[in-house]
Structure 1
Amino acid sequence: MAISADPSPLPHTAVLIGRFQPWHNGHMALLEAALAQAQQVVVVLGSAHQARTPKNPFTWQERARMVQASLAPAERARVHCIPVRDHYNEARWVEAVRQGVQALVPPGADIALVGHFKDQSSSYLQSFPGWKLLSLPRLGAFDATPLREIYWNAAGAPRAEVLAQLAAQLPAPVLDFLASWMDTPDYAAMQEEAAVLRNYHASWASAPYPPVLVTVDAVILCNGHLLLIERGHAPGKGLWALPGGFVEPRDTLWQSCLRELEEETACAIDAPTLAAALQGVLVFDHPDRSLRGRAITHVHVFDLGDRTQLPAVQGGDDAALARWVPLAQVPALETRFFEDHFHVVQSCLERFCAIRLPV
Structure 2
Amino acid sequence: MELPLTRVCLVIGRFHPLTLHCEALLKAKREAGFDVKVCIIGANAPRSHRYPFSAEEQIAMIKAAGFEAIAIEEVLGRQARHAQFVSIAPEADILLFDHAYGRFLKEDWRGGVVVEVPEAILNETLQAKNCWLAGQQFEHVSKAIAQIFDSSVPPSQRALLWEEECYVQRYRSSWAVAPYPPVLATVDILIQNGGKVLLIQRGGDVGKGQWALPGGFVEPDETVLDAARRELCEETGAELDFQTAMACLKRSAIFDDPSRSSRIRAITHAFHFDVSGHLMSTLEAGDDAAALKWVSTEEALTMRSQMFEDHFLMLEYLLTDGEKRAID
Distance 2:271 2:7 in 1: 47
Which residue of the other structure, out of 45, 49, 66, is the alignment partner of 2:44? 49
Q: Which amino acid aligns with 1:219?
A: L
Q: For residues 253 and 135 of structure 1, what CA distance do their matches in structure 2 show?
A: 39
- Equivalent position SS for 1:332: coil
Cα distance in 2 for residues equivalent to 1:288 and 1:229? 22
What is aligned with 2:228? Answer: 257
Q: 1:198 aligns to what SS in structure 2?
A: helix
* Equivalent residue number for residue 146 of structure 2: 175
Structure 1: distance between partners of 2:92 and 2:275: 50
Superposed counterparts of 1:108-119, under 5 Å: 111-115=91-95
Conservation of the 8 A alpha-carbon contact between 1:280 and 1:300: yes
Which of 60, 70, 84 aligns to 1:82? It is 70
Q: Secondary structure of the equivalent of 1:215?
A: strand
**Structure 1 runs of 4+ off > 6 angstroms?**
116-120, 136-140, 308-311
Equivalence map 1:60-75=2 (5 Å): 60-71=55-66
- Once the two structures are TM-superposed, the CA of residue 315 in structure 1 deviates from its matched residue by 1.0
Q: Which residue of 2 aligns with 1:302?
A: 273
Q: Which residue of 2 aligns with 1:105?
A: none
1:335 is aligned with what amino acid? S
2:79 matched residue in structure 1 = 91
One-letter amino acid of the counterpart of residue 27, structure 2: E
Q: Secondary structure at the match of 1:141?
A: helix
CA, structure 1 residues 127+52, in 2 after alignment: closer, same or farther (shift >3 Å)?
Answer: farther
- Identical amino acids, percent of aligned pairs: 31
Mapped pair 1:340 → 2:310 = yes
Question: How far off its partner does 1:44 sit?
Answer: 0.2
CA deviation map 1:106-139 (0-9, x unaligned):
xxxx842242699676455536645333859869
Would you say 1:349 and 2:307 are equivalent positions? no
- Whether 1:201 aligns to 2:175 is no
Letter in 1 for 2:132: Y
Residue 68 of structure 2 aligns to a residue in which SS?
A: strand
Give 1:343 deviation, angstroms. Answer: 0.8
> CA separation of 1:147/1:276 partners in 2, compared to 1, >3 Å: closer, same or farther?
same
Distance 1:93 1:118, change over 3 A: closer
Instruction: Give the aligned partner of residue 162 of structure 2.
Output: 191
Secondary structure of 1:351's partner?
Answer: coil
Looking at structure 2, the residues matched to 137 and 209 of structure 1 have their Cα atoms a distance apart, in angstroms, of 27
Q: Aligned letter for 1:47?
A: G
Q: Specify every segment of 5 or more residues in structure 2 that has no aligned partner in the other structure, as ranges.
A: none
How far the C-alpha of 1:284 sits from its partner, in A, is: 1.1
Map residues 12-27 of structure 1 onto 2, 5 A cutoff: 13-27=8-22
Per-residue Cα deviation, 1:122-161 (whole angstroms, up to 9, x for no partner) = 45553664533385986983442232233333xxxxx5xx
Deviations 1:260-292 (A, max 9, x none): 111111125544322201123211111101011
CA distance in 1 between counterparts of 2:119 and 2:270 reads: 43
SS of equivalent to 1:68: helix
**Residue type matched to 2:251 in 1?**
G
CA deviation string 1:76-116 (max 9, x = no partner): xxx431112232411101112222x25xxxxxxx8422426
Match of 1:316 among 254, 266, 286: 286
1:325 aligns with 2:306: no
CA 1:134–1:328 in 2, change beyond 3 Å: closer, same or farther? closer
Pair 1:324–1:38, CA change in 2 (3 A):
farther
Distance in 2, Cα, partners of 1:33 & 1:43: 14
1:349 positional shift: 2.4
How many Å apart are 1:189 and its aligned residue?
1.7
Q: What number of residue pairs does the alignment pair up?
A: 321
Corresponding residue for residue 292 of structure 1? 263
Q: Does 1:245 align with 2:233?
A: no
RMSD: 3.0
SS in structure 2 at match of 1:189: helix
Greater shift after overlay, 310-319 or 185-194? Answer: 310-319
Tell me: CA distance 1:151–1:355, structure 2 relative to 1, closer, same or farther (3 Å).
closer
**Match of 2:305, as an amino acid?**
T
Are the aligned partners of 1:30 and 1:114 in contact in 2 as well (CA < 8 Å)? no
Summarize the alignment of residues 135-284 of structure 1 with structure 2, pairs less than 5 Å apart: 141-143=121-123, 144-153=125-134, 159=135, 162-163=136-137, 165-166=138-139, 169-181=140-152, 183-267=154-238, 269-284=240-255
Q: CA deviation at 1:304?
A: 2.2
Amino acid at match of 1:195: C
In structure 2, the CA distance between the partners of 1:180 and 1:270, relative to structure 1 (3 Å rule), is same
Amino acid of the residue matched to residue 348 of structure 1? L
| Larger displacement relative to structure 2 (36-45 or 273-282) | 36-45
Secondary structure in structure 1 of the residue aligned to 2:303: helix
TM-score by length of 2: 0.86
Structure number, greater radius of gyration: 1
1:227, distance to aligned residue in structure 2 (A): 1.2
Q: Give the residue type in structure 1 aligned to 2:128.
A: L
Aligned equivalent of 1:132, options 112, 135, 149: 112
